[in-house]
Amino acid sequence: MSALPSTAADAVPDAALADQLDAAAAVLAERPALVLTGAGMSTDSGIPDYRGPDGTRRVTPMHLSEFVASSQARQRYWARSYVGWQRFSAARPNDGHRQVTALQRLGAIGSLITQNVDGLHQAAGTTDVIDLHGRLSRVVCMSCGDLSARTDLDARMRALNPGYEVDSDEIRPDGDIRLDEVDVERFVPPTCLVCGSDMLRPDVVFFGGAVPKPLVQECFALTDAAPALLVLGSSLQVMSGLRFVRRAAARGIPVVILTRGPTRGDELATLRIDTELAPALAGLVERLG
């Protein structure tokens, strides 16, 4: 693997940051890199990430085994998600998303694998996006496989729960929130319009679930064909994304990691930049444009 300037996970002075961005731009100028993004990409849109600066998980989403175990668990999930969706769905792309789109239009990056479920890369105009963990905007029935739009389900839940309002400013990466039990118990959960089952879930990879193998293989194929890998806004704490960094490092291609705080992939990076995403991405666009 070629040696490029790297730093520890501490924030760097302006002069050193400029040198690092020059090095990153040099990598991207030679070839369209594969991109992997995480929750840090959407924090400027008002969607918090799962972990604090020290890597500790802020919240633990509902586990898949709990969700499938009982109707009561699904009622609790949809009550919390119904309230949380009102804020989650209002999030809009931030400058970081727009700079990624600009880099793609400049030919500096190609396909993009995102661990986020918010669809904000696509909303910003980025194309060839692989939603590794699915999309909250879709709903699937675990009984019959029917796929529907979350907006349609939201309208049905509103009709099932007239006057249901909970005062909450909370928002989470998966659209979930905390609710008192009394608010959960008065919520009428939705059922599938095709088969009548209450086994509806958002079309995302739940905590405790696994990314479908064909999708993993598609992403491995992209990694194997990529001349470089650019990681944005991910702590790489879960194997879901880290495996692609390991694959890229094993191939000996440049791995550039740009995010705030330490990551599990730091030792694999040829270039590690610890700084705010949007300004750094704007710096790359300026250098490459």
Take residue 61 and report the two structure tokens written for it.
């989403």
Residue 33 pairs in a beta bridge with: 109
Contact of 145 with 45, CB cutoff 8 Å? no
Residues marked as binding?
A: 141, 144, 192, 195
Domain boundary among 204, 236, 258: 204
Q: What's the structural domain count of the chain?
A: 2
- Is 56 a member of any domain? no
- Among residues 63, 97, 121, 133, the one annotated as catalytic is 133
The angle formed by the CA atoms of residues 4, 10 and 11, to the nearest 5 degrees, is 85
pTM of the model: 0.88
- The domain spanning residue 69 has which CATH number? 3.30.1600
Per-residue pLDDT 10s for the chain (289 aa) are 444 444 434 445 688 999 999 999 999 998 899 999 999 999 999 887 665 554 455 556 788 999 999 999 999 999 988 988 888 888 999 999 999 999 999 999 999 999 999 999 999 999 999 999 999 999 999 999 999 999 999 999 999 999 888 765 555 555 555 666 777 889 999 999 999 999 999 999 998 899 999 999 999 999 999 999 999 999 999 999 999 999 999 999 999 999 999 999 999 999 999 999 999 999 999 999 9
Residues marked as binding for Zn(2+)?
A: 141, 144, 192, 195
- Is 268 a member of any domain? yes
- The domain spanning residue 108 has which CATH number? 3.40.50.1220
Domain enclosing residue 147, as ranges: 64-91+137-204
The verdict on whether 97 is a catalytic residue reads no
Q: Are residues 121 and 164 in the same domain?
A: no
